[in-house]
Amino acid sequence: MARKMSVCELEDQLLCPICLELLKEPLMLQCGHSFCKSCVGSLVCNLDQQLLCPVCRQAVDCSTLLPNVTLACVIDALRTMGESDPNQESCPVHHNPLSLFCEQDQEVICGLCGIIGAHHQHKIMPVSTVYSRMKEELSVLITEVQQHKRKLDEHISKLVNNKTRIANESDVFKWVIRKEFQELHRYIDEEKANFLGSIERKAGHLIASIESQVTQTSDALHKLQEMESSLEKLNNESQLDFIRVSLSLAARHQFLPQHPAEGTFSAISFKPGFHQDDIKMTVWKRLLRRVLPAPETLKLDPVTGHPLLELTKDNTVVQSRLLYQRRGSIPERFDSSNCILANKGFSWGKHYWEVIVGTKSHWRLGIIKGTASRKGKLNKSPEHGVWLIGLKEGKVYEAFNNPRTALPLTARPQRIGVYLHYEKGELTFYNADSPDELIPIYTFQAEFQGKLYPILDMCWHERGTNALPIVLPTPAMIRHTQAPDSSLDPPEPTKL
């Protein structure tokens, strides 16, 4: 195995034969020996002259001298290694500083590894160059990491904000729930107090009546006791005194206190007026009216009404007339069906309103889509954007579904409550005659879209038998207004 050359031995081979120092700007003579450029210049005055090689004494032409580039690179590499940090790691093979980087093997090497070692003819870069390049790559990586870190910080911030928002919103909902349940508890307490008060009043009347009877009977008993004492005293008198006193007492027998005869006592039963099983249902019905939205303030829109209709009472009462007056045809007006819309439509939320139909024998009411056609005969079905219930011939109640649904009502309501829950897709009709409760009549289920308007269908006159009005009560009238009758005479009608 060949002996490895040390750095010192290599430097001895790179000394100038003239100045005996490391070659500086080495020039190669035709004989192959190299010298410092300055040393060659000191031997001849003019480089165009001939020179005898100081080593081999061969005559050479100074004009053809060429720089020894390879040797200059090796000398520079040795000089760089000599100037390197003394703490720098050394090559385990050549014990020289690790100053180069082999791109092919991705290793840090010394100068000799790249010249005469295992990395000969590999692509080699100075460590400083590789260091700068890797520093730039590291800087880019740090920037990317910082960007990702910033994004994660933003994401965490959004999550924290979201958590805070959810906590705040949940607190608001909890507050609303507590408030709503406080209201419900208040309603329940009121109903409880009403029931208990009713029981106490009825029981109090009965107990007072019984106590009065007890008092009267006790008075009679006291009088009888007094009479019994007088009679026993008389029983001990002499004959003459007995006769005299008996004559005076004979007239008093008719004033004997009246008392119940034996076997005529009749117990009084306590009847509260309701069954205990009905308490929950009764309270639920009363609560339903309380928990529904506040009644809407609705008026009738004269622009939409059929020309036969007249409005009064600030457009809250509508009535059909027999005299038809031709009006201008506009898209908003019904021209065939005897209908009219309210002035307010709904496209979201919960809404409740009431309609007083009274004893009118033929009517329909409900809601209609704002885009539904108002020309020609009204298509009364949900498929055409119309949801109605109505009364026909004064006796047949029906829901205008497809097919129509008969409504088996046992009572004839004169006031109809309408509850719209837009998002839930429910339209419910109630018998609203009682101020304390609502009795469900029918519920439509649908997927509502667009704006919906309350609609009244007055239906046509049947030889003058269907001329009664329909009223949209104001909220102040919801609990007080009675159903209209035939005596209602609307003043100052609004011609449509």
Residue-wise pLDDT for 397-420, tens only, equals 999 998 999 999 988 999 999 999
| Span 325-367, pLDDT tens digits | 666 678 889 988 999 999 999 999 999 999 999 999 999 999 9
Task: Answer whether 251's CB lies under 8 Å from 236's CB.
Answer: no
What would the DSSP string read from start to end of 311-332? EETTTTEEEE-S--------TT
Question: What per-residue confidence (pLDDT) applies to 418?
Answer: 96
Q: Between 246 and 127, where is the model more confident?
A: 127
User: Model confidence over 72-102: pLDDT tens digits?
Assistant: 888 777 776 655 555 667 788 877 778 888 9
Mean pLDDT of the chain: 82
Do residues 372 and 389 touch, judged by C-beta distance below 8 A?
A: no
Spatial distance between the Cα atoms of 65 and 47, rounded to a whole number of angstroms: 9
pLDDT one-digit tens code per residue, 189-243 = 888 888 888 888 888 888 888 888 888 888 888 888 888 887 888 788 787 777 7
Instruction: Output the pLDDT for position 5.
Output: 60
Pick the CATH number of 293-488 from 3.40.50.300, 3.30.1130.10, 1.10.3720.10, 2.60.120.920: 2.60.120.920
What integer pLDDT is reported at residue 32 of this predicted model? Answer: 84
* Model confidence at 270: pLDDT above 50: yes
The pLDDT value given to residue 7 = 63
pLDDT of 158 reads 94
More confident residue, 25 or 479: 25
Q: Cα(265)–Cα(258) distance, rounded to whole angstroms?
A: 14
Task: Give the pLDDT mean for 450-467.
Answer: 84
**Does residue 320 contact residue 338 with C-beta atoms inside 8 Å?**
yes
Euclidean distance between CA atoms 163 and 407, whole angstroms: 51
Q: Which of 312, 370, 377 lies closest to 339 in space, CA to CA?
A: 377
Span 365-403, pLDDT tens digits? 999 999 999 998 999 999 999 999 999 988 899 999 989
What's the whole-number mean pLDDT along residues 287-292? 76
Taking the C-alpha atoms of residue 334 and residue 458, their distance in angstroms, rounded to an integer, is: 12
Angle (deg, nearest 10), helices 127-234 and 279-291: 130
List, in sequence order, every residue forming a beta bridge with 419; answer none if it has no partner.
Answer: 352, 428
More confident: 332 or 254: 332
Give the pLDDT score at 346: 96
Q: Residue 249's pLDDT is what?
A: 63
pTM of this prediction exceeds 0.95: no
β strands within 233-316, DSSP E: 309-312
CATH of domain 7-83: 3.30.40.10
Backbone angles phi, psi at 135, to 5 degrees: -65, -40
Residue 496: is its pLDDT beyond 90? no
Q: Predicted confidence band at 482 (pLDDT cuts at 50, 70, 90)?
A: very low
Q: What percent of the chain has pLDDT over 70?
A: 84
Q: What per-residue confidence (pLDDT) applies to 398? A: 96
pLDDT of residue 263: 46
Between CA 319 and CA 309 the distance in angstroms is 6
In what order do the strands lie in the sheet containing 439-445? Answer: 439-445, 426-431, 415-421, 350-356, 470-471, 317-320, 309-312, 494-495
3-class SS of residue 100? strand
Higher pLDDT residue, 53 or 485? 53
* Domain ranges across the chain: 7-83, 130-255, 293-488
